[in-house]
């Protein structure tokens, strides 16, 4: 599977010179390659490592690695107008959406955000734009900030009007769960942001839950897809960051509230 990871990373990097854009369909077909491996997350216990309860909480350090979001202001106003009928780009967060990157290079992910891609435009084809998230937590647990928290991102289609999005650098759920430092770092980040923005436990959601739509995440909204307005179309289903990770996070927060 090592080779497959390199292919993914290579494709992203190679896209700079040879092929400047790639589509959501490309991303999805690459993500699907990791599905059989993701099942291995089942070898992890259903509860988070017990040592987390005795670890003193640490206020996270957010290391600035900002995307050129100011350059995208007009693009984002149009995006939020199309999908949410609300062209404001300021964010008042009431949700925190968790993700993993599917690739093991934080730099490749940052570069792909910076470069832009063709992204889904509801049932009206695709449109060139810039995907972004607020935070990216690398394998060592370092927390990079890519966007200010008072700015809307485009990382979680359907809830971007309300959500802070957090990427964790991992190829799949099993890969993520194998690194306690990174998982612990993500727990501290979520605690910090819940406290800072007064976000309740039910506001902590997974990208795969967002993709299941309004029945799972009531805040889901998309005015720009008249065919499937309340969830992701089947071909765009998401799997990150996985049910075991979310079970760990939720039970940890219940026992150690912010
Ligand atoms: Zn995601």
DSSP for 47-69, written as a single string: S--GGGGGSPP-PPPEEE----G
For residue 82, report the distance from its CA to the centre of ligand 1, in Å: 21
Quick one: pLDDT at residue 207? Answer: 97
100 and 179 Cβ atoms separated by less than 8 Å = no
What superfamily would CATH give domain 2-255? Peptidoglycan recognition protein-like (3.40.80.10)
Looking at residue 29, its pLDDT comes to 55
Distance 133 CA to ligand 1 centre (A): 9
Name the region of 11 (left: φ>0; alpha: ψ -120 to 50; beta: rest). Answer: alpha
From the CA of 239, how far away is ligand 1's center (Å)? 8
Q: The dihedral of CA 101, 103, 106, 108: what is its sign?
A: negative
CA of 100 to the centre of ligand 1 (A): 6
Pick from 77, 105, 239: which is nearest to 161 by CA? Answer: 77
CA atoms within 13 A on the CB side of 38: 19
Contact 121, 156 (CB under 8 A): no
Distance in Å, CA 2 to ligand 1 centroid: 22
Contact 89, 77 (CB under 8 A): yes
* Domain parsing of the chain, residue ranges: 2-255
d(CA 150, CA 92): 6
**Per the confidence metrics, is the pTM higher than 0.75?**
yes
What pLDDT is attached to residue 9?
36
Question: Mind listing the pLDDT tens digit of every residue in the chain (258 residues)?
Answer: 333 343 333 333 333 444 445 555 555 555 555 454 544 667 788 899 999 999 989 899 999 999 999 999 999 999 999 999 999 999 999 999 999 999 999 999 999 999 999 988 989 989 999 999 999 999 999 999 999 999 999 999 999 999 999 999 999 999 999 999 999 999 999 999 999 999 999 999 999 999 999 999 999 999 999 999 999 999 899 999 999 999 999 999 999 999
From ligand 1's centre to the CA of 86, what distance in Å?
23
Specify the pLDDT at position 3. Answer: 37
Res 23: pLDDT: 58
């Amino acid at each position: 599977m090592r080779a497959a990871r390199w292919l993914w990373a290579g494709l992203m990097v190679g896209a700079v010179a040879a092929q400047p854009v790639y589509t959501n369909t490309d991303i999805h077909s690459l993500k699907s390659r990791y599905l059989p491996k993701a099942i291995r997350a089942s070898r992890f216990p259903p509860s988070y490592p017990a040592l987390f309860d005795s670890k003193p909480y640490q206020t996270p350090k957010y290391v600035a690695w900002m995307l050129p979001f100011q350059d995208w202001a007009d693009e984002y106003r149009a995006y939020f107008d199309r999908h949410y009928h609300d062209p404001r780009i300021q964010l008042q967060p009431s949700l925190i959406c968790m993700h993993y990157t599917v690739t093991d290079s934080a730099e490749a992910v940052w570069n792909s955000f910076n470069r832009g891609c063709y992204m889904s435009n509801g049932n009206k084809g695709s449109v060139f734009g810039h995907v972004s998230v607020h935070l990216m937590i690398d394998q060592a647990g370092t927390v990079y900030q890519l966007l200010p928290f008072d700015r809307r991102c485009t990382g979680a289609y359907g809830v971007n009007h309300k959500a802070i999005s957090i990427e964790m650098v991992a190829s799949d759920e099993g890969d993520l769960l194998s690194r306690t430092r990174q998982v612990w770092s993500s727990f501290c980040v979520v605690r910090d942001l819940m406290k800072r923005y007064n976000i309740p436990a039910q506001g902590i959601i997974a990208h795969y839950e967002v993709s299941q739509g309004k029945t799972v995440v009531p805040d889901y909204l998309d005015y720009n897809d008249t065919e499937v307005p309340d969830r992701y179309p089947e071909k765009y289903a998401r799997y990150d960051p996985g049910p075991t990770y979310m079970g760990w996070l939720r039970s940890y927060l219940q026992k150690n509230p912010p």
